[in-house]
């Protein structure tokens, strides 16, 4: 078996509820295998807290393979921690060294209020997509899947945009609390495909309006979102969103 | 309630579903608004059903335990979805998909259901394309296909290595559209705690709001359970951490029968376990077997040297590698069905040829890279390779992947008839949560197909058929109903009981112990002796759990440990039922392998004369033995054969 | 067009268009300033070219129209930058990360556009007070020094703007403020230029890197251009 073990100090944000005052709590964990994942380290911490009679740290997670977008955590200055193109659940302890102090915080943004400890409320993302992040077709009565050929390049590009997992790291790492990367990923995916093209103008307008209404900030093209995005969503999607939105508005 | 009525429509198999639709009862548009439907689960099955029923005009309430419907575990499916389109012109047809699925399921599925699944498979692809699912395409602009295990045609549609994600986002889009229209009301971070049965019919559910801890009651003229599979009974599986059996289990305890609980699928290509603290297992898509070759060292010395770190797999020449799937199954080679591939890997490891800690074999891309070039391999599997490297720190372009079987899917589930209705009228089950279409083994890329078939194309018809007779049932106000109050009080009582134990052992520690019993004794190879032991061990574990579990915190707040405890309590009970089912089924079929019943070559040996039926269990009380009901299976259109992939 | 400018992207569009417009103005201004150095090279007497240019600017009707436009451009740019910045601070929320932001590969200037803008404004104020106010409003003895220069093929007489500028640039304090302001401007533009195209939607995977590079070149060309002129005036004229 390869791998070493680490002793670490953890500074973790604890907050009992949305309205409670929060603060950092310091914990120590030892003999953490570098082969384990970050969330497994959190599991070990929680087992330790429970056996000492404490209240375990609440954090969001589900699939633990980087696809559901449920896990969050702002670790040592990075959304999803100090490794590239991955989610927190895919972060492994080999990225840390013995004796490190690790600071673990919830996403911080007005759009994502803290629910408990490290868990935040990201329902604003659902609301934005409800405003138009879909193709308006009912079930059934649909032409054959091959009825409209789609150039492979477009399909591939749409796929890249579609791989957003809705984790919110973009908002969490944006100094403006802007949701443009997230919104642009969905708008781009659907604008690139003939099926979504039909209502592209309406979609761009209503999604942006909802995003503004929910209080997300204005994009200044800083690009931190793109760097911290676990799925490599490019800010050229934002340019496409701007294009779609402006041309839609100019036609009004 | 003695015999099970599967309500299969009359007529030739290819006409049954058409006939059903032609003669079913309908509800007129104005009346649909007066009918409430509860959908528990927002995965492919639940999400698609909620959206489609909302489009029809019913009043839908949809529930999920995650913070957004988009996070249902369907999102994790990588490989693809089957359909009988026959775009590659390689001889596929509805009948062949039907046949492959029945055969792949080792002749333990209901023919009529499987045929319907194959029939609607093509509409699913059309539907998803229309929703903007970016399926992979050829340069000519048409849809691309790949091949999957258990089939000799290429019928699998895919979106990179993220097919489940894209299909789910499609369904989620449809759901969002209905939420915006107000036909669907979504309840995130809400866990179903019980089903409410009034006068023999399902009338609603009790939920716990996971943020506030509040116990809430919801009325519905019909209730659909689409809560996914129960693989987490093994603790380690490819399921999400929150995947659970609780919703299904509560319906079982309220009278719905549980079908074939012992049928679980062990997926051959997962990343091997690496340590005590491991929390879940990661699947490496079956699609990898399209181009990867599976092998173990031919000589024991080599396996030992590799385990000791003295040799590397790259050091072994082709002659020293045993491509055991190609050796044993020349016709299907690396693409044999999952149960077969998993057992073959276990056989090699048990015989001492395993690597890593003795429980791993290789999946090698060296040959594919030589044949196709690294770029092509990267385009096909890049994201899977990245995922593998992040977890193991090994680069699969340079060194073969290490893989081992892991629990992945549960074919068993709530028993349903042709309408997907359970033995409780008004209670339906869909997706992985029901037992219906896969028999004793599921073929790759068929679960996504089944989930969406149930949600988009079956339930909207069959639920409507049921609701047509419910028009005159007035809505029940849960606040004024004694039945709702009783159910809610039971749930609260149960929670208080758990919290008052204040024992010493954590929920996870019980879950891990349960998992170990299940994996060792109700796992890949099962024996009468092992299963008998498992039953008594699980019973003891249950008693200990209820005496010594420690759950910090309160009921009236977000309490993750409490959530887990509720789920683990149900898993423990389920584990016992699975062991019972496995013990009673004295044959090997599909994923259920009883070591006493195998051919000379180690293949599963069915006992069709005794076990050609679905085992559906009826709950009789917690310390009572459940009662077994049998739904006889008839094979008219597929000839019963020993499965042969040689 | 309905309520375009009440949307976030609409407001950004205004920032972008006014920003690009200001860049055009800067380029014109830079061209004029370059005359400060070019007399010798092109065989004119010191100050002749600049005075001719200044005269052109003061008398040309097109430039006359553009002047208030320019003022409006500045005002809109500044007003909206204040509005957007306040909104962004709000959207960010009250809590800050204890572990800070360690995101690599993010342009420093892109995170400090407002601060850089303030530097540019303060420099602008100094600039206006020194030159524009004197030329247009209060007048200055230096301006009345005899100045003759070639203009539209003939010999013309006019204000001696060159004397005013040349004298100002002998003051080391003014030169330093000028240089600081120009460097801030360069940083502002090294992000602002490509960002403006991104905002308009004129960007894609191919052009992203190209525009970012062009942006740096344009920004430092403008900023350093102004600096070099001021320093050269101080040292050599
Ligand atoms: C890693 C992996 C890869 C796979 N790859 C493939 C593949 O390539 N092809 C293929 O065909 N199949 C694949 N499968 C199988 C397939 O993904 C699943 O069987 C299928 O998606 C299940 O869908 P579902 O809608 O039934 O359940 P899920 O998607 O699991 O949804 C369950 C829903 O129920 C909700 N829920 C659960 N419990 C409760 C409760 N108590 N109260 C309230 N809500 C609850 C959840 O919130 C969720 O919304 C894969 C599975 C896994 C794990
Ligand atoms: C000659 C002077 C100036 C020029 C040429 C200029 C140019 C630009 C350009 C091109 C942009 C990019 C617009 C975009 O991202 O779409 C920009 C952004 C910005 N400017 Fe200026 N600017 C000048 C002066 C100022 C001043 C005086 C201020 C304020 C005090 C200011 C504040 C800002 C801010 C805050 C932004 C970022 C706004 C955003 O991206 O939302 N600028 N500027
Ligand atoms: S754009 Fe990237 S960072 Fe933002 S939600 Fe999507 S995946 Fe997460
Ligand atoms: S837990 Fe699903 S992405 Fe991390």
B16-263+411-478 has which CATH code?
3.50.50.60
Q: Locate C40 and state its tokens.
A: 């010798």
Mean pLDDT for chain A overall:
96
| Candidate list B289, B338, B343, B643, residue with the active-site label | B338
CATH class of C6-236: mainly alpha
CB half-sphere exposure, A77, CA atoms < 13 A: 8
- Substitution target from A84, A114, A170, A175 for chain C, most C beta carbons within 10 A: A175
| Residue extent(s) of CATH 3.10.20.30 domains in chain A | 5-116
Q: What is the topology classification, in CATH, of domain B483-612? A: Methane Monooxygenase Hydroxylase; Chain G, domain 1 (1.20.58)
Q: Which residues contact B266 (CB under 8 A, 6 or more apart)?
A: B338, B339, B342, B405, B406, B407, B408, B523, B524, B591
Tell me what pLDDT residue B1 has.
Answer: 47
Q: Which residues line ligand 4 (CB under 6 A)?
A: A 61-64, 66-71, 87-89
Domain A5-116 has CATH 3.10.20.30: yes
Of all residues in chain C, the one with the smallest CA distance to A250 is C1
Residue reference for tokens 């408990």: A116
- The residue whose C-alpha atom lies closest to atom 5 belonging to ligand 3 is A166
The domain limits of chain C are: 6-236
Closest-CA distance, C208 to chain A, in angstroms, reads 7
Q: Choose between C41 and A31: higher pLDDT.
A: A31
d(CA A112, CA B361): 44
Closest-CA distance, C16 to chain A, in angstroms, reads 10
User: Closest Cα to residue B363, out of B405, B310, B332?
Assistant: B405
Q: Locate A89 and state its tokens.
A: 């659940």
CB half-sphere exposure, C43, CA atoms < 13 A: 0
Touching status, chains C and B (3+ beta-carbon pairs under 8 Å): no
DSSP state of A13: E
Cβ pair B390:A90 closer than 8 A: yes
Closest-CA distance, A183 to chain B, in angstroms, reads 14
Interval between CA C15 and ligand 2 midpoint (Å): 6
Q: Is the dihedral of CA B51, A165, A89, A216 positive or negative?
A: negative
What CATH superfamily classification does A123-251 receive?
Alpha-helical ferredoxin (1.10.1060.10)
- Residue C156 burial class via C-beta count within 10 angstroms: exposed 0-12, middle 13-18, buried 19 and up: middle
d(CA B51, CA B174): 6
Cβ pair A139:B456 closer than 8 A: yes
Cβ pair C9:A109 closer than 8 A: no
Pick the atom of ligand 4 nearest to A67's CA: 3
Band (pLDDT 50/70/90 cuts) for residue A2 is low
- The residue whose C-alpha atom lies closest to atom 6 belonging to ligand 3 is A164
Band (pLDDT 50/70/90 cuts) for residue C2 is low
Q: How large is the average pLDDT for residues A81-87? A: 95
CB B167 within 8 A of CB B448: yes
Which tens digit of pLDDT belongs to each residue from A89-143?
Answer: 999 999 999 999 999 999 999 999 999 999 999 999 999 999 999 999 999 999 9
Distances (CA, A) of B592 to B105, B232, B526, C130: 11, 17, 8, 90
**Chains touching B, CB cut-off 8 Å, 3+ pairs:** A
Residues of chain B with pLDDT under 50: 1
Which tens digit of pLDDT belongs to each residue from C90-122?
Answer: 999 999 999 999 998 899 999 999 999 999 998
Tell me what pLDDT residue A96 has.
Answer: 97
Which tens digit of pLDDT belongs to each residue from C50-81?
Answer: 888 888 888 888 888 888 999 999 999 999 99
User: Closest Cα to residue B518, out of B476, B576, B597, B562?
Assistant: B576
**Nearest residue, CB atoms, A24 vs list C9, C93, C98:** C98
d(CA B97, CA B13): 14
Cβ of residue A125 closer than 8 Å to a chain C Cβ = no
- Substitution target from A14, A41, A45, A68 for chain B, most B beta carbons within 10 A: A68
DSSP state of B311: S
Cβ of residue B301 closer than 8 Å to a chain A Cβ = no
CB half-sphere exposure, A12, CA atoms < 13 A: 24
Q: How many CB pairs under 8 A join A and B?
A: 223
d(CA A42, CA A25): 14
Where does residue B352 fall: left (phi above 0), alpha (psi -120 to 50 degrees), or beta otherwise?
Answer: left
**Chains touching C, CB cut-off 8 Å, 3+ pairs:** A
- Substitution target from C92, C105, C112, C205 for chain A, most A beta carbons within 10 A: C92
Interval between CA A181 and ligand 3 midpoint (Å): 7
Q: Locate A160 and state its tokens.
A: 């890249």
Ligand 2 binding pocket includes C156 (Cβ within 6 Å): no
Tell me what pLDDT residue C152 has.
Answer: 77
Do B267-405 and B483-612 fold alike per CATH?
no
CB B60 within 8 A of CB B174: no
CB A198 within 8 A of CB A148: no
Q: Looking at the predicted structure, is the pLDDT value of residue A68 above 80?
A: yes
Touching status, chains B and A (3+ beta-carbon pairs under 8 Å): yes
Mean pLDDT for chain B overall:
95
Cβ of residue A77 closer than 8 Å to a chain C Cβ = yes
Cβ pair B66:A53 closer than 8 A: no
Cβ of residue B236 closer than 8 Å to a chain A Cβ = no
Domain B267-405 has CATH 3.90.700.10: yes
CB A155 within 8 A of CB B134: yes
Measured between beta carbons, the chain A residues lying within 8 angstroms of B159 are 159, 162
The domain limits of chain B are: 16-263+411-478, 267-405, 483-612
Cβ pair C202:A239 closer than 8 A: yes
Of all residues in chain B, the one with the smallest CA distance to A144 is B126
Distances (CA, A) of C218 to B529, C109, C185, C205: 80, 15, 11, 21
Query: Using alpha carbons only, what angle is made at residue C129 by residues C128 and C133, rounded to the nearest 5 degrees?
Result: 80
- The residue whose C-alpha atom lies closest to atom 3 belonging to ligand 4 is A66
Please say if B338 is a catalytic residue. Answer: yes
d(CA C17, CA C28): 17
| Residue extent(s) of CATH 1.10.1060.10 domains in chain A | 123-251
CB A235 within 8 A of CB A181: yes
Q: How large is the average pLDDT for residues C23-50? A: 87
Distances (CA, A) of A189 to A144, A186, B91, B132: 21, 5, 33, 8
């Amino acid at each position: 078996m390869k791998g070493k073990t680490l002793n670490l100090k953890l500074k973790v944000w604890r907050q009992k509820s949305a309205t409670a005052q929060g603060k950092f709590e310091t914990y120590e964990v030892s003999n953490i295998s570098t082969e384990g994942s970050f969330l497994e380290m959190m599991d070990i911490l929680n087992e330790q807290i429970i056996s000492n009679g404490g209240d375990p740290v609440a954090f969001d997670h589900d699939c633990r393979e980087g696809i559901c977008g449920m896990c969050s955590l702002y670790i040592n200055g990075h959304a999803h921690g100090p490794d590239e193109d991955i989610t927190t659940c895919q972060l492994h302890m080999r990225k840390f060294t013995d004796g490190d102090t690790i600071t673990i915080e919830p996403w911080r943004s007005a759009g994502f209020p803290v629910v408990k400890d490290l868990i935040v409320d990201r329902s604003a993302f659902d609301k934005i997509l409800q405003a138009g992040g879909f193709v308006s077709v009912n079930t059934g009565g649909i032409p054959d899947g091959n009825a409209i050929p789609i150039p492979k390049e477009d399909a591939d590009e749409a796929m890249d945009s579609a791989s957003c997992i809705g984790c919110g790291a973009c908002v969490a790492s944006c100094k403006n609390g802007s949701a443009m990367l997230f919104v642009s990923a969905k708008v781009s995916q659907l604008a690139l495909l003939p099926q979504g093209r039909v209502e592209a103008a309406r979609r761009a307008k209503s999604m942006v309006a909802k995003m503004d209404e929910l209080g997300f900030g204005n994009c200044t093209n800083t690009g931190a979102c793109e760097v911290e995005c676990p799925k490599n969503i490019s800010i050229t999607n934002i340019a496409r969103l701007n294009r779609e939105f402006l041309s839609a508005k100019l036609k009004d | 309630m003695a015999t099970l009525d599967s309500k299969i429509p009359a007529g030739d198999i290819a006409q049954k579903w058409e006939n059903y639709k032609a003669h079913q009862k309908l509800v007129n548009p104005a009346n649909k608004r007066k009918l409430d439907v509860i959908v528990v689960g927002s995965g492919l099955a639940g999400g698609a059903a909620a959206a489609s029923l909302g489009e029809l005009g019913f009043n839908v309430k949809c529930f999920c335990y995650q913070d957004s419907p988009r996070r249902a575990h369907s999102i994790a499916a990588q490989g693809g979805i089957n359909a009988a389109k026959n775009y590659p012109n390689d001889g596929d047809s509805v009948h062949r998909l039907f046949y492959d699925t029945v055969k792949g399921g080792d002749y333990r599925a209901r023919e009529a259901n499987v045929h319907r699944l194959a029939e609607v498979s093509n509409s699913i692809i059309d539907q998803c394309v229309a929703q903007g699912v970016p399926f992979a395409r050829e340069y000519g602009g048409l849809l691309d296909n790949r091949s999957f295990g258990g089939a000799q045609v290429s019928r699998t549609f895919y979106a990179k290595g993220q097919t489940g994600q894209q299909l789910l986002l499609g369904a989620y889009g449809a759901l969002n559209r209905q939420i915006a229209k107000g036909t669907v009301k979504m309840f995130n971070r809400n866990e179903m705690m019980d089903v409410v049965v009034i006068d023999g019919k399902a009338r609603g559910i009790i939920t716990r709001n996971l943020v506030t801890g509040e116990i809430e009651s919801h009325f519905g003229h019909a209730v659909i359970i689409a809560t996914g599979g129960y693989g987490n009974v093994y603790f380690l599986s490819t399921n999400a951490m929150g995947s659970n059996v609780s919703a299904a289990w509560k319906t079982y305890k309220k009278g719905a029968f549980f079908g074939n609980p012992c049928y679980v699928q062990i997926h051959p290509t997962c990343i091997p376990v690496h340590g005590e603290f491991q929390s879940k297992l990661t699947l490496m898509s079956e699609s990898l077997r399209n181009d990867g070759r599976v092998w173990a060292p031919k000589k024991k010395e080599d396996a030992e040297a590799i385990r000791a770190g003295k040799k590397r797999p790259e050091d072994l020449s082709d002659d020293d590698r045993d491509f055991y799937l190609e050796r044993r199954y020349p016709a299907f080679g690396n693409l044999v069905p999952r149960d077969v591939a998993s057992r073959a890997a276990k056989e090699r490891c048990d015989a001492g040829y395993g690597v890593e800690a003795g429980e791993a074999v290789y999946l090698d891309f060296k040959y594919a890279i030589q044949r196709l070039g690294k770029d092509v391999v990267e385009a096909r599997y890049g994201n899977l390779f990245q995922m593998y490297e992040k977890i193991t720190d090994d680069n699969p372009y340079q060194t073969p992947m290490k893989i081992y079987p892991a629990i992945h899917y549960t074919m068993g589930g709530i028993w349903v008839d042709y309408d997907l209705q359970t033995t409780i009228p008004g209670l339906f089950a869909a997706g992985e949560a029901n037992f219906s279409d896969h028999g004793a083994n599921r073929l790759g890329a068929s679960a996504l197909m089944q989930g969406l078939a149930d949600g988009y194309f079956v339930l909207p018809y069959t639920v409507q058929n049921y609701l047509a007779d419910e028009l005159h049932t007035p809505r029940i106000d849960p606040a004024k109903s004694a039945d709702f109050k009783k159910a809610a009080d039971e749930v609260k009582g149960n929670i208080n009981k758990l919290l008052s134990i204040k024992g010493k052992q954590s929920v996870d520690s019980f879950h891990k112990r349960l998992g170990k019993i299940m994996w060792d004794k109700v796992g890949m190879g099962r024996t009468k002796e092992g299963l008998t032991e498992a039953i008594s061990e699980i019973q003891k574990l249950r008693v200990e759990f209820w005496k010594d579990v420690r759950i910090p915190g309160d009921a009236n707040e977000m309490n993750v440990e409490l959530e887990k405890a509720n789920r683990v309590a149900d898993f423990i009970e389920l584990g016992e039922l699975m062991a019972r089912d496995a013990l009673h089924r004295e044959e090997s079929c599909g994923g259920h392998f009883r070591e006493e019943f195998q051919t000379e070559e180690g293949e599963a040996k069915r006992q069709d004369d005794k076990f050609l039926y679905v085992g559906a269990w009826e709950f009789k009380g917690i310390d009572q033995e459940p009662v077994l009901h049998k739904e006889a299976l008839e094979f008219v259109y597929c000839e019963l054969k020993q499965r042969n992939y040689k | 067009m309905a309520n375009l400018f009440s949307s976030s992207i609409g407001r950004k569009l205004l920032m972008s268009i006014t920003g690009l417009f200001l860049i055009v103005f800067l380029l014109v201004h830079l061209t004029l300033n370059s005359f400060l150095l070019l007399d010798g090279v092109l065989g004119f007497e010191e100050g002749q070219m600049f005075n001719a240019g200044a005269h052109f600017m003061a008398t040309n009707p097109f430039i006359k129209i553009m002047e208030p436009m320019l003022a409006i451009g500045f005002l809109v740019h500044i007003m909206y930058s204040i509005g957007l910045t306040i909104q962004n601070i709000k959207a960010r929320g009250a809590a800050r990360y204890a572990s800070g932001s360690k995101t690599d590969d993010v342009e420093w200037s892109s995170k400090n556009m407002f601060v850089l803008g303030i530097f540019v404004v303060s420099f602008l104020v100094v600039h206006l007070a020194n030159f524009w106010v004197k030329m247009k409003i209060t007048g200055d003895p230096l301006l009345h020094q005899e100045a003759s220069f070639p203009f539209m093929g003939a010999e013309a007489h006019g204000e001696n703007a060159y004397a005013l500028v040349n004298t100002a640039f002998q003051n080391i304090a003014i030169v330093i403020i000028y240089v600081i302001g120009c460097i801030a401007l360069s940083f502002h533009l090294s992000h602002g230029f490509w960002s403006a195209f991104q905002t308009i939607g004129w960007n894609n995977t191919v052009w992203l890197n190209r525009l970012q590079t062009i942006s740096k070149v344009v920004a430092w060309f403008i900023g350093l251009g102004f600096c070099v002129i001021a320093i050269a005036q101080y040292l050599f004229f």
